[in-house]
A and B are shown apart, each in its own frame.
Chain A
Amino acid sequence: MKHLLSIEDLDRAAVEALLDQSDAFLDVLARDIPKVPALRGKTVVSLFYEESTRTRLSFETAAKRLSADTMSFAVGSSSVKKGESLLDTVKTIEAMGIDAMVVRHHAAGAPHRVAQWIDASVINAGDGRHEHPTQALLDAFTLRRHRGPSLDGCRVAIIGDIRNSRVARSTMLCFTRLGARVTFVAPPTLIPERLDGWPVTVAHDLDDVLGEIDVAYVLRVQEERLGQALLPTLREYYARYGLTAERAARMKPDTFVMHPGPMIRGPEIATEVVDGPRSLVREQVTNGVAVRMAVLWSLIGSGGHVA
């Protein structure tokens, strides 16, 4: 594997191999000195055209735990502001000698374009509404740790702005690769325009599916959707789709709650649910580092076992 651009490109075995590798790195992170020399001498650069806290920190932490050198290219304070094109920017960075480039961009497919332009490995850290493969891998990894190696038969509801979410696309693909059954729960305006060939079912009423699901995966709904006539008001949205404590109480006792962040505590997901015993939200963040270590190692490591 040269690049990680989308979950679409990975079959079940490839996903499982990455998750197995992540298990090994999670053990490394539990050590007193959570660092291995696996990528010593390698250089990983992150190029983020969109604001991000957790994904960027997570990648940089992962690279450092593997002893790679890291560079961070902050678009806001760079030549991009002076009008430099994406092509010229990545060519310039590549000329400094790098092994992997972690790319987040507001346009779908931007990392795919970058992968055509440079020789280094490219990791998609989120492209427009398209995919966010490492988020999907860390979600699957987190769930797998609680549900056994396979997700066969596991029922997942992804709730929120599916249409505009790269996380929904990637996580749905990744979960279903591992055997889970995914239901999209949202008003029709927030469901993708066409679902031909998608291995999902759709529900418009959250209360209909609450009692049947093993995982409630909540996505954020952005205020800007109101101006696009996709929703009347956020208040109405939360009344119908918010994961309140009352709704959480109607889920099976062993139903897990997940959220990719950043989340709006309160109307979107109740604080007692986020901090409750069935919440995997904090664990998702921790596991993100291990999963991104596995991805970096698989793409630019020697491919052998890690000491």
Chain B
Amino acid sequence: MPDALVIRSGRVLDETGERMADVLVRDGRIAEVAPGLDVPAGARVLDAEGCVVSPGLVDIQVHFREPGREEAETIETGARAAALGGFTAVVAMPNTTPPLDDAKVMAAVLERGRQVACLVTFAGCITQGRAGHELAPLGELYDLGVRVFTDDGDCVADANVMRRAFEYALALPGSVIAQHAEDPDLVAGGHMHEGEWSAKLGIPGRPAEAESTIVARDLALAKLTGGRYHVLHMSAGASAELVRAAKAEGIRVTCEVSPQHLALTDAACASFDPVFKMNPPLRSEADVAALTAALADGTIDAIATDHAPHAPETKERPFEEAPPGMLGVETAVAVAITKLVDTGVMTLAQVLGALSWRPARIAGLDAAGHGLPVVAGNPANLCVLDPAARWVVSPDRLASRSRNTPFAGWKLSGRVRHTVLYGQPTVLDHEAQA
């Protein structure tokens, strides 16, 4: 294995700006960034002609299904898929079987997550068994390196439990309480966005207000406690309004949106194909417009995929009987470029910020060397992508163990060419290396 590599002729783009430069990587770190670098003897050359060289992408919401549902995804296959999507670090959600509410289980998955094609870190549960009643051992999990706490998949519905979680986490610097914001009573029995389409299709709905009422409540509790709050996969325009106002008021809040919530609407459910089913659901055109505007103006901090693999047989069911969730890591940056950059809504730098350095900070992954500027001394976690390359999404060619992408057949702009994790290529010329 060569001890050095040079990424040649790319356009380096990070939080500090952009410049044409070669990047020399040695011993896992960036050694030099300058145009026309000499290639040291024995160094591997990664061509980046026509490409952007950015900090590795960071996805703060994925489901890699291990332990418990390895037929859908494993830490290894999920990490490989993520690397192909340009990611060098992810935060996997704790709604596994068993759930990640225990230090021993957490230590085991964290160890596994350090051995794969992408740094796979894990969020811990807020409550024991994700049941919503008693706090999980947040401190023990924190001591293992966990920074994000969530019962994702389920909402922490009990306001008092949420309040105490905010308070308790104040003693754990850099930690954040992340909420799957959907009031369980308002969404009970629902399978898609409540609106024009649910009424027409006869599919029971999940109203946008199920999200915005929880976000409003949680923001009040964050204000009361001084706690740090993160809204997972925000889907409603009304929630974005609330976060915008809360940020102006100085409440410690961040939020994310998924590519599918920016690219698709509830109209997709008219096919009755559950590949378009997720929680929170795909929403109206007005919500998509509001979320897009909120991402562009910085109200929404990050794009996170909620990569949710499901084995094919579980999606080959009627809409109401199939599990919610969609794949995301292999298509995220391309969907974002196609929907946001090609349309002139955002610059590539803004999109990469939402996919790298901003989410890295939310989850404390900057401390592990992710999302940092491409300058000498920083760990070499890098993504080399051709923003103009066009490709067609083919479910059969995805590296994920599952096939449930909502973007099958879409022609997208932006293709990841190389990914480098702590100085080692995990993807070379579109091919996973392990």
Contacts and interface: CB of A to CB of B under 8 A. Distances in A.
Interface in B161-198: 194-196, 198
Which of B195, B204, B207 is most buried by chain A, counting CB atoms within 10 A of its CB? B204
A86 B202 CA distance: 20
B254 to A, nearest CB: 32
Contact of B202 (A85, A130, A198): A130
A128 B203 contact: yes
A193 B204 CA distance: 10
B423 interface: no
Which of B199, B203, B204 is most buried by chain A, counting CB atoms within 10 A of its CB? B199
A166 interface: yes
A27 interface: no
Contact of A109 (B207, B272, B313): B272
A85 B207 CA distance: 29
A108 B201 contact: yes
Contacts of A166: 202
Interface in A94-146: 105-110, 112-113, 117, 127-131
Contacts, number: 71
A196 interface: yes
Contact of B318 (A8, A86, A131, A198): A86
Interface size class of B (residues with CB under 8 A): 20 to 34
A192 interface: yes
A292 interface: no
B319 interface: yes
A107 B313 contact: no
B70 interface: no
Nearest to A195: B199
B320 A128 contact: yes
Contacts of A195: 199
A259 interface: no
Contacts of A109: 201, 203, 272, 318-320
B202 A108 contact: yes
Contacts of B202: 108, 127-131, 166, 169
Interface string A164-204: 00100100000000000000000000001111111000000
A107 B321 contact: yes
A87 interface: yes
Contacts of B317: 85-87, 113
B203 A105 contact: no
Which of B202, B272, B273 is most buried by chain A, counting CB atoms within 10 A of its CB? B202
Given A193-B205, A194-B195, A108 B313 contact: no
A193 B195 contact: yes
Interface in B352-378: none
A39 B115 CA distance: 64
Contact of B204 (A129, A131, A198): A129
B177 to A, nearest CB: 31
B286 to A, nearest CB: 12
A166 B201 CA distance: 9
Interface of A: 8, 85-87, 105-110, 112-113, 117, 127-131, 166, 169, 192-198
Given A107-B320, A117-B316, 14 more contacts: A85-B316, A86-B321, A87-B313, A109-B319, A112-B272, A113-B318, A127-B202, A128-B202, A128-B320, A169-B202, A193-B205, A194-B195, A194-B198, A197-B196
19 contacts: A8-B200, A85-B313, A85-B316, A86-B318, A86-B321, A87-B317, A105-B318, A108-B202, A108-B203, A108-B319, A109-B319, A128-B203, A128-B320, A166-B202, A193-B194, A194-B194, A194-B195, A195-B199, A196-B196
